[in-house]
Chains A and B, each alone.
Chain A
Amino acid sequence: EPEVTQTPSHQVTQMGQEVILRCVPISNHLYFYWYRQILGQKVEFLVSFYNNEISEKSEIFDDQFSVERPDGSNFTLKIRSTKLEDSAMYFCASMSVASKFFGPGTRLTVL
């Protein structure tokens, strides 16, 4: 069964460093998303991406964040200068028509 994959599973970084989280969505899907979940809190929407551009972003998705689909398979989230409060699970998701499928997540720890 096709699935969304994410790498790395766990990323530890120092505050102020740049990180890139990678995702491979399901191959025939057209819509791509990033969500995050701070420990013990709700899953929160960050950004949606369709037709090679951002279609919607939340207040959390400020200038420190960017997304890219550099080739036909990968979808990345970059955080330019990480803060302590960026520590969370980051989930990539993809969708074809209606149902959204999530990846296993990347645990980001900012020290």
Chain B
Amino acid sequence: QKEVEQDPGPLSVPEGAIVSLNCTYSNSAFQYFMWYRQYSRKGPELLMYTYSSGNKEDGRFTAQVDKSSKYISLFIRDSQPSDSATYLCAMTVSQGAQKLVFGQGTRLTINP
């Protein structure tokens, strides 16, 4: 079983739709969870950072963590064409110098 699994998509939705992106993981030692957005041929850009189980909201973005199910989600409300990108989940065991383990990334297209 892969450490972090993420459906690569592609996922295509109309503008204004609610988007749900998900990752599952197998390593119960993961404690910190991140979502990155990556535009084509660019570096990953940090969107959300969470630690505890539950929801964290930032504008149109909500990150959800369920440690008991080893499942994390990112919801995008009122999606815009500018949200079209690849979304990467990433996680790590602890803060500090610990490496991030990334999912495959989900390629998202928002159609005007």
Contacts of B103 in A (CB 8 A): 42
Interface residues on A, range: 20 to 34
Contacts of A103 in B (CB 8 A): 43
Which residues, 72 to 112 on B, are CB-close (under 8 Å) to A?
Answer: 88, 90, 95-105
Interface contact A98-B49, CB-CB below 8 Å? yes
Contacts of B44 in A (CB 8 A): 43, 91, 102
With an 8 A cutoff between CB atoms, is B60 at the interface?
Answer: no
Question: Which residue of A42, A97, A99 contacts B102 across the interface (Cβ within 8 Å)?
Answer: A42
Q: How far is the CB of A50 from chain B (nearest CB, A)?
A: 5
B interface, over-half SS:
loop
CA distance A42 to B89 in the complex (A): 11
Q: How far is the CB of A3 from chain B (nearest CB, A)?
A: 9
Residue of B nearest to A105 (CB): B43
Which residues, 69 to 111 on A, are CB-close (under 8 Å) to B?
Answer: 89, 91, 97-105, 107
CA distance A50 to B96 in the complex (A): 9
* Seed contacts A58-B99, A98-B32; 5 additional CB < 8 Å A-B pairs: A33-B99, A43-B88, A43-B105, A100-B34, A105-B41
Could you tell me which A residues sit within 8 Å of B by CB distance? 4, 31, 33, 35, 41-45, 48-50, 55-56, 58, 89, 91, 97-105, 107
A-B residue pairs in contact (CB < 8 Å), sample of 14: A31-B97, A42-B105, A43-B90, A45-B99, A48-B99, A56-B97, A56-B98, A91-B44, A100-B34, A102-B43, A102-B45, A102-B46, A104-B43, A105-B41
